[in-house]
């Protein structure tokens, strides 16, 4: 069993910064791609950023140039550095990872962390 635990959310003023972390715990697994999704009230969950095991990254147009995704494979952890935050970034942010065990891969989700951008 593999679990994802997010941390780093909170309340920040517009223009401020936050850094989210997501750590995978368990045994007998490796991780392919890891990513961050978000869901605002009344809106569909959307992809924010993704990073592959090889370090390739992709971003939603709405966050490109402001957010940076990275990973530490030794710690099984993915990070999302969020700069120049806007009120429209307010959402619950969810960590996602493709967990590889044996010859199978399965998508795994964290429980989410709230990010609120408000003055």
The 3-class secondary structure across the chain, one letter per residue, is CCEEEEECCEEECCCCCEEEEEEEECCCCEEEEEEEEEECCCCCCEEEEEECCCCCEEECCCCCCCEEEEEEHHHCEEEEEECCCCHHHCEEEEEEEEEEECCEEEEEECCCEEEEECC
Cα–Cα distance between 7 and 46 in angstroms, integer? Answer: 19
Over the chain, what is the mean pLDDT? Answer: 96
Measure the CA angle with vertex 116, ends 91 and 57; round to 5°.
Answer: 55
Percent of the chain residues topping a pLDDT of 90:
94
**Predicted pLDDT of residue 103:** 87
Predicted confidence band of residue 86 (pLDDT cuts 50, 70, 90): very high
Cα–Cα distance between 13 and 119 in angstroms, integer? Answer: 5
The arithmetic mean of pLDDT across residues 51-60, rounded, is 95
Residue range 3-14, pLDDT digits in tens = 999 999 999 999
């Amino acid at each position: 069993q593999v679990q994802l635990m997010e941390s780093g959310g909170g309340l920040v003023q517009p223009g401020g910064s936050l850094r989210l972390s997501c750590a995978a715990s368990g045994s007998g697994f490796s991780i392919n791609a890891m990513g961050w999704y978000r869901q605002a009230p009344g809106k569909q969950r959307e992809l924010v950023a993704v990073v592959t095991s090889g370090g390739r990254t992709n971003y939603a147009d709405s966050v490109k140039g402001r957010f940076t995704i990275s990973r530490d494979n030794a710690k099984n952890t993915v990070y999302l550095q969020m700069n120049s935050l806007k009120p429209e970034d307010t959402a619950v942010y969810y960590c996602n990872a493709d967990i590889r065990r044996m010859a199978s891969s399965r998508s795994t989700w964290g429980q989410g962390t709230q990010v609120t951008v408000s003055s």
